[in-house]
Amino acid sequence: MIYDISHVTTYSYEASVGATRCAIRLTPRDCARQRVLSSRIDASPTPESARSSIDFFGNHIVETTIREPHARLRIALYARVEVDRVEPPAPCLTPAWESVSRAAAGSRTLARESPVHWLFPSRQAPLYAPATHYARESFPPGRPVLEGAEELMRRIQRDFAYDPHATHVATPLAEAFDARGGVCQDFAHIMIAGLRGLALPAAYVSGYIRTIPARGQPRLEGADASHAWVAVWCGEPFGWIHLDPTNAMYADENHIVVALGRDYADVSPIDGVIVGAGRQALDVSVDIRAVGDL
Amino acid sequence: MAAEHEALAIPGEEARRLAAWIADYRPIPGVPDELIGPDGAPRPHWTTLLETLAGLGQEGVEQRFAAAARRINDMGVTYRVHGETRERPWPLSRLPLVLNETEWSQIAAGVAQRAELLDQILQDVYGEGRLVAEGALPAAAVAGSPEFIRPMRGVKPVGGRWLRFYAVDIGRGPDGKWWVLGDRAQAPSGAGYAIENRLILARAFPSLYRDMKVRRLAGFFRDFRAALMSAATRSDPRICLMTPGPFSETYSEQVYLARYLGFLLVEGGDLATSEGKLHVRTVAGLKRADVLWRRVDADWLDPLEANAASRLGVPGLFDAIRQGAVAMANMPGAGLVESRALMSFLPALAQRLLGETLRLPNVATWWCGQDAERGEILRDFDNRAFAGAFGDQAEGLEGRPAIGAELDEAQRARLVRAMHTRGMDYVGQEVVKLSTTPAWDGGALTPRPFSLRIFAAATPGGWVVMPGGFCRVSGRRDARAVSMGAGAQSVDVWVIADTAVENATLLPTKNDVPVVRVPGNLPSRAADNLFWMGRYLERAEATLRVVRCLCNRMTETQSNALQGRQPIERCERLLFAWGAAAPTAATHSSATIALDAASNADIYGSARAIAAQAKGAASIVRERLSQDMWQLLVRLETRLDHGAGCATLPEPEILEIVDRALHTLAALSGLMDENFNRVSGWAFIDLGKRIERAINTCRFARQFADDDPTMETLDALLELVDTQITYRARYLAGPALAPALDMAMLDPFNPRSVAFQARRIDEHLAALPALADDGMMESQRRLAVSLRADLEAEDARRLDTGRMLFFEQRLMALANAVSERYFSYASDPAPADKRSKLA
């Protein structure tokens, strides 16, 4: 499936701001199941400098500096991405979770690919004993790792309410867990915390999911949204398997990957520092269109 | 200079006292002690010290100790307990810890070896990764550390060092040998306190210090400074000490170190990156920063690549480091070697990397990320200490290490289960008991547990170790760890040389130092705070002058005659307008209003509150102010506090408070004029003072020489601008409007007139650096030039309140222009909002 993505973020400031330094992580990355055919980032006002690089985890970052005073900042990503449909392995064929854990901890490299980076607590996905305890129910001794992970995913979808008002970007994991509610970001963090609590490597995946309008309804532009799910390392040769706890499904050709990190903080689309006081308002509009769709 | 030995009057009594001290001193059984050796007798290198103290007599000792305490106060040595806003005076134990040369040289060699080892480990882990690939170091023992700063992987540090300034906490093990308790590689604190401890004790016991041949600390800092200079890629580099700011627990130490070493003290907001280079924001624009000695933890250094919420860092700093534009002490990520997990691998890594055994062993440690080690530790559960492998937080531990035998069944079960699931988060260790050193407590010597921090600096010739250290003794008899607070004290560490000590100071030895007259450019933040310090001090003075004028009038006016009341009412009106007295006070007596305006710290415009603001601004630039100046700022507050808490006082007493405070302000003024180098720092204090004085004088003139003045109000104006005597000499008749106004506003010879201030302001602005050399006047200068010219050409007979207000407004505009031009640094950078639409 080939998609055209546009993701437009607009900051409006009450008072004009003098300078902005941003790290932009909007450009989708290549991975086993997807190829980026083209992408570009537009910003206005035009940045004085923009430098792109690849971070430790292999994500694209564009660092920009805008010096021109401005009351409105618009950052837009336009990309065309091809996503394959990849069949997940049969869960019962994956190794026992304990041996996956041992293999990860015994890794002999610190390079990007090493599962060892995904074993430890991180800023927004800390270890949380109740989350570990919750996850453990799906991992009796000797169970194949993907069986356990798939069950955990389904339980999260069942036990946690989807509630966009329950949490915000910075809601701590414990709060969302205790409230048994949240959005995709919270579900992903909860699942990650549970898996890491059992010493299984888990990653946060940021991206998009194509929404298919109900029959007879027109497709609404800009109504699509960023999405987040989880990748679990299932040992060699299976590697990383993507699971979406919000929708209780394996990520398929409707899931477009942007970045992988230990949690949201690693892949936050725009991090930045604004010089100036006053309040700001933010508007985000995402549009995902399958090429060939109308 | 006092000489301790003169006091040795009665030798017999001295010997008896010493014998009694020693006899009463009882080390904890099984715990090694610094004073009493393994043979039960005092170690010989303590003898001189104790004999001297005994010779001083009980009272003499207490006197010396009290003098040391006063000096701590005077020097303003403080620390802050985390979460508290007020600073506490530094608790210095009066007795040093004494080490002999033989023992010291073993410690120093061990510390130097360890520093080199840790640096090589960092090189490998962030570089080639051979230790991990070859199985000498498990990847998880590295990746688990929050100080494994991933963006630094593959970065080549300027000068090749990951570690440039290293500290290690050591203690004596049960066998009496020194061992390592913990490593400090992120941003070690304590070295500055060590110098301050030394200055205090050396002054309390000058000849003792000399006679005992105590090794000096200055040489170490000289080497460290030279090493940082040589690390930079430019000659004559700019070295910055990066501080988290005045709310850091050890800010006072950072200020001291910056001043002692001549480094620029900067906060993140003072720095900026562009095109991969690091700059300091100065009043002359952006200037390159070559070396950064950081006291900010890695996670807070760069909001773009590390913690996005950080307000302490510099956006783009990691990239500047990656580009090789700045030498770091230490590199972000050096804190990795602080983790306990690493300790268990050090003996083997020393063999592998250096081909040597560890000279200073560390506490025996087993990382439980390996099944065999974990099994071994759990078998001997009761006799082991358990701790987080990468910090103090881990499931089953209450945020601190625990001893197996001290856990109950439930705790034990929880910890064992957690260690089975995530063993990599734990280490098991030998149980550590801190050894003891004597402290002076209630007139006697008592053993106190201590930990000793030793510092080492990387130089081109290898590691040098500071001959001394930062030692902390616990307030309790039995302790496993010592941190400041909770009754702990710090202790100076005396290394006794076998031969004569070098007389090192920070002075360069050779006579080939180039003469420089304007030392670097002033950072914008420093300029801003100096400017406001000047303004606040002047504002405090103006407020006190109005209070004095009010009190004088109250004393003179016995009757309620209208003419007599007028100046009083106008003084009060000014104080209300300035927020120096609460408006509800309108119904109060004049004395209450006067006292409030001087001493009530709760009223934001009172002289007392303004003095606090002046001190607040000064505290941010404390490394630029002399000790004397700081003491005067403290004294100003104390003097005004004499009236605090009283509802009212008789006028003469208020006058006395005000006069004394004004004298302190005069002393501060004098100190600034006579002792402050006439470089841009001074210019900004003076600019602030002049602008504030000009504005206040306009206000005096409008209040007391308005369209309907009386002889009495004009007299008050002359008093406020300090020209009563001159006026009487020039004019025989009583005060008249035009001459009085001329003196206050226009007289170029009166150092309190507005015209006089305008001229000084213009001169300062002319001398300050311009951003562009296109020969065009910058806007603040334009305003100053025209204001000065207009005041010089003004005729007093034309001056009415409207024109005076016009001048006042132009001065305010000028103040704004100055602040926009020189102080526009990132004082308030806000992180971008991070709400995105999530499904």
Q: Is the peptide bond before A237 cis (omega within 30 degrees of 0)?
A: yes
pLDDT at B825 over 70: no
Q: Does A276 touch chain B (CB under 8 A)?
A: yes
Which pLDDT does position B732 carry in this prediction? 80
pLDDT in tens, B718-748: 999 988 888 888 888 888 899 999 999 999 9
**CA-based nearest residue to B471, from B435, B504, B432, B505:** B435
Which pLDDT does position B4 carry in this prediction? 44
| All residues at 6 or more sequence positions from A212 whose CB lies less than 8 Å from its CB, including other chains | A254
Residue of A nearest to B132 (CA): A108
B312 neighbourhood in chain A, CB within 8 Å = none
pLDDT in tens, B26-62: 998 888 999 998 888 899 999 889 988 888 888 888 8
Reported confidence tier of residue B839, pLDDT bands at 50, 70, 90: very low
Alpha carbon of B335 to those of B122, B145, B148, B184, B329: distances in Å?
9, 9, 8, 7, 11
Which pLDDT does position B674 carry in this prediction? 83
Q: Are residues A161 and A185 in the same domain?
A: yes
Distance from CA of B548 to the nearest CA of A (A): 40
B144 neighbourhood in chain A, CB within 8 Å = 119-120
Q: Does A270 touch chain B (CB under 8 A)?
A: yes
Q: Does A274 touch chain B (CB under 8 A)?
A: yes
Residue of B nearest to A163 (CA): B839
Residue of A nearest to B299 (CA): A123
B821 neighbourhood in chain A, CB within 8 Å = none
Q: Does A262 touch chain B (CB under 8 A)?
A: no
Distance from CA of B415 to the nearest CA of A (A): 12
Q: Are residues A232 and A276 in the same domain?
A: no
- What are the counts of helices (DSSP H) followed by strands (DSSP E) for chain B? 27, 22
Residue type, B593: I
Distance from CA of A183 to the nearest CA of B (A): 6
**CA-based nearest residue to B753, from B773, B778, B783, B727:** B727
Of B148, B369, B826, which has the smallest distance from its Cβ to A275's Cβ? B826
Neighbours of B87 (CB within 10 A): 18
Neighbours of B44 (CB within 10 A): 10
Rounded distance between C-alpha atoms, residue B491 and residue B92, angstroms: 6
Rounded distance between C-alpha atoms, residue A291 and residue A287, angstroms: 12
Which of 66-85 (A) contact B at CB < 8 A? none
Distance from CA of B371 to the nearest CA of A (A): 10
Read off the CATH number of the domain in which A185 is found: 3.10.620.30
Q: Are residues A284 and A150 in the same domain?
A: no
Residue of A nearest to B396 (CA): A129
| All residues at 6 or more sequence positions from B628 whose CB lies less than 8 Å from its CB, including other chains | B671, B675
pLDDT in tens, B762-814: 999 998 888 877 778 889 999 999 999 999 999 999 999 999 999 999 999 99
* Sequential DSSP letters for B284-338: TEEEE--EEEE-S-GGGS-TTTS-TT-SSS-TTHHHHHHTT-SEEESPTTGGGGG
Q: Does A256 touch chain B (CB under 8 A)?
A: no
Q: Are residues A138 and A216 in the same domain?
A: yes
Q: Are residues A202 and A282 in the same domain?
A: no
- Are B837 and A225 an interchain contact pair (Cβ–Cβ within 8 Å)? yes
Give residue limits of the domains in chain B.
Answer: 97-340+434-496, 364-430, 524-822
Which pLDDT does position B500 carry in this prediction? 67
Q: Are residues A100 and A146 in the same domain?
A: yes
Which pLDDT does position B275 carry in this prediction? 83
- Give chain A's length: 294
| All residues at 6 or more sequence positions from B561 whose CB lies less than 8 Å from its CB, including other chains | none
Which pLDDT does position B832 carry in this prediction? 57
Q: Does A123 touch chain B (CB under 8 A)?
A: yes
Q: Are residues A64 and A155 in the same domain?
A: no
When pLDDT is averaged across residues B450-461 and rounded to a whole number, the result is: 95
Among A238-242, B86-90, B707-711, top mean pLDDT goes to A238-242
Rounded distance between C-alpha atoms, residue B316 and residue B313, angstroms: 9
Please say whether the beta carbons of A191 and A185 come within 8 A.
Answer: no
> Is the dihedral angle over the CA atoms B266, B268, B269, B270 positive or is it negative?
positive
When pLDDT is averaged across residues B390-409 and rounded to a whole number, the result is: 90
- Are B305 and A23 an interchain contact pair (Cβ–Cβ within 8 Å)? yes
Rounded distance between C-alpha atoms, residue B373 and residue B429, angstroms: 11
Distance from CA of A160 to the nearest CA of B (A): 14
Q: Does A99 touch chain B (CB under 8 A)?
A: no
Q: Are residues A254 and A285 in the same domain?
A: no
Probe site for chain A from B122, B825, B837 (most A CB atoms < 10 A): B837
Which of 185-224 (A) contact B at CB < 8 A? 185, 197-199, 209, 211
Q: Are residues A67 and A118 in the same domain?
A: no
pLDDT in tens, B458-487: 999 999 999 999 998 887 776 665 555 556
Neighbours of B629 (CB within 10 A): 19
Which pLDDT does position B748 carry in this prediction? 92
pLDDT at B837 over 60: no
> Is the dihedral angle over the CA atoms A30, A33, A38, A44 positive or is it negative?
negative
Q: Are residues A254 and A109 in the same domain?
A: yes
Q: Are residues A96 and A237 in the same domain?
A: yes
Which pLDDT does position B3 carry in this prediction? 44
A156 is in which domain, residue-wise? 91-266
- Are B839 and A119 an interchain contact pair (Cβ–Cβ within 8 Å)? no
Residue of A nearest to B832 (CA): A272
Which pLDDT does position B827 carry in this prediction? 43
Query: Per residue of chain A (294 residues), what is the pLDDT tens digit?
Result: 999 999 999 999 888 887 788 899 999 999 888 999 999 999 999 998 888 999 999 999 999 988 888 889 999 999 999 999 889 999 999 999 999 999 999 999 999 889 999 999 999 999 999 999 999 999 999 999 999 999 999 999 999 999 888 888 778 999 999 999 999 999 999 999 999 999 999 999 999 998 777 677 766 555 677 899 999 999 989 999 999 999 999 999 999 999 999 999 999 999 887 766 667 888 888 999 888 765
pTM, to two decimals: 0.87
Distance from CA of B369 to the nearest CA of A (A): 8
3-state secondary structure of A241: strand
B839 neighbourhood in chain A, CB within 8 Å = 183-184, 209, 211, 225-227, 246
Q: Are residues A32 and A173 in the same domain?
A: no
Neighbours of B592 (CB within 10 A): 18
A256 neighbourhood in chain B, CB within 8 Å = none
Q: Provide the number of CB pairs (under 8 Å) joining chain A to chain B.
A: 152
Alpha carbon of A6 to those of A210, A220, A225, A286, B586: distances in Å?
12, 13, 11, 6, 65
Which pLDDT does position A149 carry in this prediction? 98
Of B139, B274, B834, which has the smallest distance from its Cβ to A114's Cβ? B139
State the distance between the two ends of chain A, measured CA to CA, in whole angstroms. 14
Distance from CA of A84 to the nearest CA of B (A): 22
Domain count, chain A: 2
Probe site for chain A from B301, B525, B836 (most A CB atoms < 10 A): B836
* ipTM higher than the 0.85 cut: yes
Strand partners, B640: none
